[in-house]
Amino acid sequence: MIEFLFLLIFVFAFWAVHVVRRVFANTYLWQIKEYRVDRILAHLNEKNLLSKKSFPTIISITLLFSGILLLKFLSCRILYGVLVIGFAYYVYSALATITKFLNKKLTCPAKRLRNLLVIGGVMILSLIALVIPYLFYISYFQETARDSIASEAFQIFPKEGDDGFLVIPLETASVVLFFVSLFVFDFLVLALVALIAVITTPLAALIPKKK
């Protein structure tokens, strides 16, 4: 169980850095648009879906669709490449984010209360992506441990059992669920930032404006 939890945290760390970059960029956008929904909608209408800044959203949609297919067809081995591609993408994005941060080129919103609430709220919600697969794993772990033949840890591909049924190791199913959770939350970053930005609207009236 410790090895499985370590794997989740290891992957989650790269993903979290990737998500922080997207949250920062979108929070900054809301900041420069003065948290006005009409200006955000106007920006989205003018935005070119094929622009360089839209690539993270396009990739997240692709990964999400592919991950859902994998979750539905766990027996299709070729779909397991989605996990490798997703992990490689998050590692690349995380390293690029760290590099930009060290070179002071990372887009960061101002240190204002509302911005911090948006960023903190999204990152707290992102922990659900880590908790869901772990709870799924431990809920079946004890039952699996009582079996006379324990599943091989981190066995990648499903295999046919002696009774002719497809056997999918618990670790494999949990890892797939974990990556799909990451894909879902990566896809929802824009919506989560928007949701918390709207929720914090009443707070704006309480914050004195700078003259």
Does a structural domain hold residue 139? Answer: yes
Does a structural domain hold residue 211? Answer: no
- Residue 117: which domain range? 2-206
Does a structural domain hold residue 148? Answer: yes
CA distance 111 to 64: 32
Rounded mean pLDDT, 186-203: 90
**CA-based R_g, the chain, Å:** 20
Of the listed ranges 18-22, 91-95, 129-133, 142-146, the least confidently predicted one is: 142-146
CA distance 154 to 166: 16
How many structural domains comprise the chain?
Answer: 1
Q: Give the tens place of pLDDT for each residue, 44-78.
A: 787 765 566 678 888 999 999 999 999 888 888 89
Q: Give the tens place of pLDDT for each residue, 197-208.
A: 999 888 766 665
* Highest-confidence segment of 5-9, 91-95, 122-126: 91-95
pLDDT of res. 145 = 47
C-alpha distances out from residue 65 to 2, 54, 82, 86, Å: 30, 17, 10, 12
Confidence of residue 148 (pLDDT cuts 50, 70, 90): very low
Residue 161 has pLDDT above 70, yes or no: no
Count of beta carbons in the 10 Å neighbourhood of residue 207: 11
CA distance 152 to 172: 10
Does a structural domain hold residue 10? Answer: yes
CA distance 101 to 96: 9
Q: Whole-number mean pLDDT of the chain?
A: 83
CA distance 36 to 124: 24
Closest CA to 141 of 13, 3, 40: 3
Residue 43 has pLDDT above 60, yes or no: yes
Alpha helices, DSSP H, located in the chain = 2-32, 37-46, 55-72, 81-102, 113-126, 128-145, 170-187, 189-199, 201-206
The reported pTM is 0.83
Count of beta carbons in the 10 Å neighbourhood of residue 7: 16
Does a structural domain hold residue 191? Answer: yes
Does a structural domain hold residue 42? Answer: yes
Does a structural domain hold residue 59? Answer: yes
pLDDT of res. 8 = 84
Does a structural domain hold residue 180? Answer: yes
Cα-based angle 107, 110, 113 (whole degrees, multiple of 5): 135
CA distance 143 to 111: 48
> In the block, which residue shows the tokens 């009582």?
146
Rounded mean pLDDT, 168-174: 81
